[in-house]
Structure 1
Amino acid sequence: MTTMTAPASTTVDTDPARRGRRVFDVSLWADWAALIGLVALLVLFTALDPSFLSAGNITGMLAAAAALLVLTVAQTFVVATAGIDLSIASVMTLGIVVLGQLYEAGAPLSLAMLGALSAGLAAGVVNGILVAWGRITDFVVTLGMLSAASGLALILSDGQPVTVTESFFFTLALDGPVSFVPWIVVIAAVVAVVAHVVLFHTRLGTHVLATGGSDEAARATGINTARVKLFVYSFAGLLAGLAAIIVVTRLGATPPAANTTYLLNSVAAVVLGGVSLFGGRATILGPVFGAMLLTVLLNGLTTLGVSQYYQPLSVGVVVVAAAFLMRFQK
């Protein structure tokens, strides 16, 4: 005779003592580290400066977080397969330069934007082919692409930025469906929602997590892990191209120098969000909170007049603390 048991989700814990112990369960704090840290920083900075949560500053923080959020989603997919993309910021810079060069050559803005997306996708495809079929470790491949994309961006631009003055970009950066939420933030939010659906509600997402959990086991069940890896690196490159458009939208220019802060913060946001660096365990919401946490942290320190030299130190401390908490995740 088979004994049926109720699903765990239907069980209600009525023991107050057990619920109290749950509050002090380190694994609970580890699972929600990014959100808890984000709320704590908002409370702290608001207490120190009541104008911190003004509409203008909220808009500024959301706009500043948009490109990082897109890159963080891209990095999440790669890390979910037990890989890492060290080239993501440099590929974004290449997309920025391609957009600027096409715009300066007189191409329509739509074609310039398509060029940025294509440049990012091409770099991602190269990464994916070398990792999946070339069987070269992702660290070496993306490190090489980091240098190649940065160098190509400088060659194409001759080290000179291009000013992009388009009303469409101003609209994306300054206007939105809500007064303090620009369109670039909406775009980033849509990317996060689509990524969540793909990762947790499609067969492709299942294959991504399975590949990260165990490449051999995934192949044994019939999953083409090479195609999965090609997809995640290509997807990361495409999103890097999208992030390039967002950066140009905010700056109104195409800086040719790679900003490695985006790379470091994208990895940091993934760690803060509770994604396993060993693959197989991922979330989209956690890294999104992680990206927002880092943005709020840097904005708050700047608002309080803290020297910019302390900002990388603060990010490092937060990331190490989050990594320590990850040891207690269940």
Structure 2
Amino acid sequence: MSTTDSASARWTADLKSFFLRYGLFLLLVLVILVFAWLRPSFGSAGNINDMLRSASIAALMFLGLTWIIAAGEIDVSFMSVAALANMVVAALVASGHGWALACLAGLAVGVIFGLVNGLLVAIFRLPALVITIATGGLAGSVAAAIGLGTSISLPSTGFVGALLHVNFGVVPLLTVIVALLYAGAWFVQERLTFGHYLYALEQNRAAVVEAGVPVNRLLLMLYILSGVVSSIAGILLTADLSSGQPYIGSSYFIDGLTSVLLGGMALKFGKPNVIGTLTAVVLLAALLSGAALLGWTDAQRQIVRGALLLCGVAVVVWARRKTRAHI
């Protein structure tokens, strides 16, 4: 092979690697530019503020899910836990209790369900998909029972509502907090041994156990984290919507899986990671906001969500098979 051919092949490989690592970020920029061009109101201060606030709540809910899937497990109860926390808070506030007590009760929901999931999956080694379907169904049923199948309206949103509406220009304070949380999560994932254990679990769990890593404790912590962040998101949704919505979790199911799996296309190709999830959440928020401004129907928006989820699943499965083939 000539020097020219070698340089051309190396340039092509570098270009391919660049798009594999940063293609999701480029797609986000492209989507924002296209919608801003098609609908100038997309870039208005009010729309940006609303988009960032909703994306922040979703990103918070999906943080624990990201690491669970990265470790080779699954949690499909996260959205139902958020819905139950949402209804518990709304019911307590509507009955005259303070927001502080209601928030503690909502947080307890996340801890309990995260602990149950973690114990059954990590300690008793039961199938994660089956267990989290069961606990998610339980959480969803209890949420519906609290409101007798209907929503619970609130007269005020308390200090949580006040927090949601604190802004730095067009950027909500909540967005700043979530960004800092994700920055901390990135440091833990990339700079501490936790991150190495996390991805090693998915590739070869037996080798991680033989290395003396407390795998069961690690998985238990991940499920508790998923429960806690889901419940916090549910609490924030109570104030954001000024109500308890028993079936609100269903709208986050596809978005959660799409964000985590699509996020696996960024930086760590085929590996779910927090920066990828955050980018995918913002991408989905921009797509849904822009689609609404363009008058797309709900069915059309669902088609886009499904297509993105399919892309994310395909990339993650392909990358994992390729990785295992080299082990």
1:286 alignment counterpart: 276
* Alpha-carbon distance in 1 for matches of 2:192, 2:101: 31
What is the SS of the residue equivalent to 2:103?
helix
Q: Output the CA distance in 1 between the equivalents of 2:19 and 2:251.
A: 27
Q: Aligned equivalents of 1:127 and 1:258: distance in 2? A: 21
Aligned-pair distance for 1:55? 1.2
Letter in 1 for 2:222: V
Per mean C-alpha deviation after superposition, the further-off stretch among 195-204 and 249-258 is: 195-204
Counterparts of 1:92 and 1:206 in 2: how far apart (Å)? 29
Confirm whether residue 132 of structure 1 aligns to residue 122 of structure 2: yes
Distance in 1 of aligned mates of 2:10 and 2:41: 37
Letter in 1 for 2:60: V
CA–CA separation in structure 1 for the residues paired with 2:104 and 2:190: 28
1:201-255 Cα shifts (integer Å, max 9, x gaps)? 3343433333223210110000111111111111000000111122112111111
Q: Cα–Cα, structure 1 residues 204 and 321, in superposed 2: closer, same or farther, change >3 Å?
A: closer
- In structure 2, the partner of 1:173 is 164
Distance 2:251 2:19 in 1: 27
1:128 and 1:79 map into 2 onto residues whose CA distance is 14
| Displacement of 1:186 | 2.5
SS in 1 for 2:131: helix
Residue of 218, 236, 239 corresponding to 2:208 = 218
Q: Specify the code of the residue in structure 2 equivalent to 1:155.
A: A
Q: Distance in 1 between matches of 2:279 and 2:158?
A: 31
Alignment check: 8 A CA contact 1:120 1:240 kept: yes
Distance, in Å, in 1 between the alignment partners of 2:48 and 2:9 is 39
1:230 alignment partner, one of 220, 226, 238: 220
Letter of the structure 1 residue corresponding to residue 163 of structure 2 = L
Deviation at 1:315, TM superposition (A): 1.3
TM-score, normalisation: structure 1: 0.87
Measured against aligned partners, the alpha-carbon deviations of 1:136-166 in whole angstroms (never above 9, x if no partner) come to: 1110000111110001112223223333313
Which deviations, in whole Å up to 9, do the C-alpha atoms of 1:281-319 show, x marking residues without a partner? Answer: 442111100111111111111011111211010111223
Report the counterpart of residue 39 of structure 1 in structure 2. Answer: 29
**Quick one: structure 1 residues 205 and 57, their matched pair in 2 at CA, closer, same or farther if it must change by over 3 Å?**
same
Report 1:113-262 matches (<5 A): 113-164=103-154, 165-176=156-167, 178-262=168-252
Instruction: State the partner residue of 1:84.
Output: 74
Is the CA contact (8 Å cut-off) linking 2:62 and 2:230 kept in structure 1? no
Counterpart pick for 1:305 among 295, 305, 321: 295
* SS of residue in 2 equivalent to 1:186: helix
> Could you tell me how far apart the structure 1 residues matched to 2:89 and 2:213 are?
37
| Whole-angstrom CA distance in 1 between matches of 2:260 and 2:197 | 20
Report the CA distance between 1:44 and its aligned residue: 1.2
* 1:200 to partner: Cα distance: 2.5
Q: What is the identity, as a one-letter code, of the residue corresponding to 1:57? A: N
- Residue 32 of structure 1 aligns to a residue whose secondary structure is helix
2:265 and 2:51 map into 1 onto residues whose CA distance is 24
- Tell me the distance in 1 between the aligned counterparts of 2:150 and 2:279: 35
Distance 1:275 1:145, change over 3 A: farther
Say if 1:80 and 1:280, in contact at 8 Å, map to a contact too: no
Alpha-carbon distance in structure 1 between the residues aligned to 2:43 and 2:197: 41
Amino acid at match of 1:140: V
Distance in 2, matches of 1:230 and 1:72, equals 17
CA deviations 1:93-149 (Å, max 9, x no partner) are: 011111112222322211111111110111011000000122111100001111100
How far did residue 24 of structure 1 move? 4.2
**Could you state the TM-score of these two structures normalised by the residue count of structure 2?**
0.88
Once the two structures are aligned, what percentage of the paired residues are identical? Answer: 26
Q: For this pair of structures, how many residues does the alignment match?
A: 312
How far has the Cα of 1:72 moved from its partner?
A: 2.0
CA 1:76/1:232 → structure 2, altered by over 3 Å: closer, same or farther?
same
Alpha carbons 1:78, 1:232 under 8 Å: kept: yes
